[in-house]
Structure 1
């Protein structure tokens, strides 16, 4: 077998990863599938799916999907079709982190939140790298099976609230704002500002493998009750 043929076969296998072969089993666990429109403003699908399968396969099991570019990228979901002319398209996140590969190549893991959103990308196609609406992800399950340590920092008077969130995140690194934070850690920061929940990469451009920084001000009860769930921006 020639080297060129070997490479061609390898690429074919990678392109179809998760689309064929054996299906997921109970041992793979469960993931969550969200399909929304307009930056999470309209929820179309909110269901549990088996982990152990590709993101694309999971989507196809719950919605009518058409694809492009060899089948790895989604063109339409349930008749809602992307349009370069209108600057509207489907984008996916896992645990709030923007995908870095085709949907057929990402294998869902137990606990993942798989999120498809249809939106106008004209202002943020290159800059929207992480969204906060999957909280407490990506603190709990990370991306592609890689998790990071979590650090919680708080403004004066917010230590109790910070400790409560730290327990949810499984973090014992809780300290006042300004305290050193490990360069590899995800950060959740309590601030005394107008109510909000936002998320950015600590190093812009680092992709879904990079550490995140969340900023929060408001009711911890609302946060933990899921009031910010499935939204790009704070409600």
Structure 2
């Protein structure tokens, strides 16, 4: 009888420990999923004439893997031609006018169009409507 109680106690203890261990595992999975849901942080600045007039300044949390074009289209009224932004919120060059939307990423001039740039965490992206002459 004593042996039976010992085996029963051992089985109950093992069951409780296994149950607690799986609860912790589930909790850790929830934390991992929550951190995956958190997006990338990006700051967008829209200006004119080399930053003299700030038209918009937004700090956004976005999904990983989005291009700059996708983020701009989700947050502003944008027109594009061949992957390059030609108008933001109705501001665009008139025929023959030497103006364009140029952008920098973290202070460096962009080397690709907005449709080809995949946003990275912490990027500061500045679009400026300026003369290219």
Query: What TM-score does the superposition give when structure 1 sets the normalisation length?
Result: 0.39
Q: How many residues align?
A: 96
Counterpart CA distance in 1 for 2:93 and 2:115 is 18
Residue equivalent to 1:32? 43
User: Quick one: higher RCO (CA 8 Å, sep 6+), 1 or 2?
Assistant: 2
Match of 2:97 in 1: 86
Give unpaired runs (5+ residues) of structure 2. 1-35
Describe the shift of the 1:78–1:54 C-alpha distance in structure 2 as closer, same or farther (beyond 3 A).
same
Q: 1:65 aligns with which of 70, 73, 78?
A: 78
Deviation at 1:82, TM superposition (A): 2.6
Q: For 1:140-155, what aligned pairs fall within 5 Å after superposition?
A: none
Higher helix share goes to which structure?
Answer: 2
User: Aligned with 2:69: secondary structure?
Assistant: helix
Q: Which runs of 4+ in 1 moved over 3 A?
A: 25-28
Could you tell me the TM-score, scaled by structure 2's length?
Answer: 0.66
Tell whether the 8 Å contact from 1:35 to 1:46 is kept in structure 2 after alignment. Answer: yes
Q: Which has the larger radius of gyration?
A: 2
Distance 2:37 2:124 in 1: 17
Q: Which runs of 5+ in 1 are unaligned?
A: 1-24, 123-235
